[in-house]
Structures are given as structure tokens and as C-alpha cells.
Amino acid sequence: MITDNFSLYHYILEESRARGIQIHVLSPGEPIPFNTGAVITTEDEAERIDFERSKMVIARKPQSALDHALRMVRGDRDYTHIVIGIDPGKYPGLAVLGNGKVIEVHHLSVGEVRGAVENVIRRHPDMEVTVRVGHGARLSRMQIVNSIADIAHVELVDETDTTPVLGRGVRGEVVSDIIAAINIAGVPGVPAGRQVIEPSDGEVRVIQEHSRSHTNGRATISRRLARRVAKGELTLDEAVSRYKS
């Protein structure tokens, strides 16, 4: 991105951070890295930038400028289908595939899943987005499905053998969860509506413990609130907020 326009700078930077995308930010006149595939700028500033015009994205609508630049860099045109794979758990892995290619990946909390799915839908408004959720981690799975059932077509997937063995030199639960999410996205599932599961006492205690670690020991939500979180009626943040009030 090459601009001194604060509004454009702020919007694109926040949007790229939300998607986990790294971009170079320059002012007009600064040297452009040789391997740059696209430049986002304004109409007025474009005249002062020494770069191929066909590879410039004039941000008349900042909301679509980043998508346009990414398609230019990746060589993609319009996708014919988008699939989101989710590996459920305390911190789910999430992968977005366009035409079978991985577009983006995330490792986030259960409460952040809906926002991530909404962002994908917003960026691809003219097509149906399929979300495939692994069948494991039943409470996390239920919370995820219930949080997005009203905004996307959701399928439950048999996630057997989707979690990889991490070989020598490869470490980290994050990597494993993300690869599992990519694999889940590639497995057709069965349509899923809202889920109803009665949490066990042990599962309620786990959520209470999670609330304590989530607040760095400052709060432990009640069993009643923990049960509502387990059933997908509240997010953990909402339960903590209600407990404190």
C-alpha cells in the first residue's frame, strides 16, 4: 500500500491484520520492492508512483481494494466455490479454501468463529459459503455450529484421520489444528442445523476453569453460566461479563 491518506491507511491496515495478511506500507516517492505484485493507492497519489498502472488498485472503495489486490497477486479470478473447514476444540483451527486452494488460515477462540465466517461471507457476497465442522470435541462443535447455523450452510464431517502426525522439527498444536481444518474442508459432510447437547458436570467444570484462566484468575463463572456457555447460549466473554455485573 502506498498512501499518505490516513483513512485508507487505517482501513487497509486493520483489515489486513484481521485476515492475517502482511503488507508493505510506503509513502509516494519511496522505493518499491522489486517483487511487488500489486499496489493499493488513491487516484491522486497514483500519478506520483513509479509503478505499472495495470497493477495498481485505486481504492475508490476501500472495502474491496484489498480483495482486488490479493486476486491480482495470486492470479485468481472469481472463485466458483468457497469452503471453510473448522477443527473444533478449545481453540479451533479454521481454514478457508477457494476452488480447493487455501486462501487463509486462523487459530482462534470458539467465540471468534462467527466473526471469521461473517468476514468470509462479506468478502464473497454472491456465492454460498459451505462450512464443514469436524465431529469431535462435542461441546466446542455444538457451540460453533449453533453460532453460524443462521448465516451459512453447515456440514458435520467425520474428522477421523484429519489430524496429521507432526514429523521431526515440526512442533505446535496450532500447526496440527490448522492442517486438520484444511483436511476437514476437503471432506463432504452431512447438513447440520442447531445442536442440542446436555453438558456433563465434568464439561461444566472445564468451562468454569477456562473462565478462570481466561480472566487470569480474576473470575470463575457460576455453574449456571458455564452450562449456558456449554450449550452455546452464551459465549465465554458474555458469561464473564454477566458474572462480573
Q: Is 90 exceeded by the pLDDT of residue 52?
A: no
Q: What's the confidence (pLDDT) of residue 76? A: 55
Q: What's the confidence (pLDDT) of residue 78? A: 61
Cα separation, 38 vs 35, whole angstroms: 9
Cα separation, 22 vs 235, whole angstroms: 29
Q: What's the confidence (pLDDT) of residue 104? A: 87
Question: What value, to the nearest 5°, has the Cα angle with vertex 62 and ends 58 and 63?
Answer: 130
Q: What is the mean pLDDT of residues 185-199?
A: 87
Q: How confident is the model at residue 191 (pLDDT cuts 50, 70, 90)?
A: very high
> Among 31-40, 146-155, 165-174, 224-233, where is mean pLDDT lowest?
165-174
Q: What's the confidence (pLDDT) of residue 63? A: 72
- Per the prediction, the chain carries an average pLDDT of 86
Residue 8's nearest CA partner among 52, 73, 63, 71 is 63
Which H or E element spans position 133?
strand 129-134
Q: In the chain, how long is the greatest CA-to-CA distance?
A: 66
Which is more confident, 216 or 86?
A: 86
Q: What is the mean pLDDT of residues 27-35?
A: 88
Q: What is the mean pLDDT of residues 71-96?
A: 83
Q: What pairing do the DSSP bridges indicate for beta strands 93-98 and 153-157?
A: unpaired
Cα separation, 75 vs 45, whole angstroms: 25
Q: Is 60 exceeded by the pLDDT of residue 77?
A: no
Q: What's the confidence (pLDDT) of residue 221? A: 92
Instruction: For 82-191, give the CATH class.
Output: alpha beta
Q: How confident is the model at residue 189 (pLDDT cuts 50, 70, 90)?
A: very high
66 within 8 A of 40, measured Cβ to Cβ: yes
Cα separation, 197 vs 192, whole angstroms: 14
> Among 23-32, 77-86, 110-119, 164-173, where is mean pLDDT lowest?
164-173
Q: What's the confidence (pLDDT) of residue 88? A: 93
Q: How confident is the model at residue 230 (pLDDT cuts 50, 70, 90)?
A: confident
Instruction: Work out the percent of the chain whose per-residue pLDDT is above 90.
Output: 32
pLDDT tens for 118-128 read 988 887 777 78
Q: What is the mean pLDDT of residues 220-242?
A: 86
Domain locations in the chain as residue ranges: 6-74, 82-191, 201-244
Q: Whole-model pTM above 0.85?
A: no
Sequence-distant (≥ 6) Cβ neighbours of residue 78 within 8 angstroms: none
Q: Is 60 exceeded by the pLDDT of residue 86?
A: yes
Residue 59's nearest CA partner among 3, 15, 18, 124 is 3
Q: Name the 3-class secondary structure at 93.
A: strand
Q: What's the confidence (pLDDT) of residue 180? A: 93
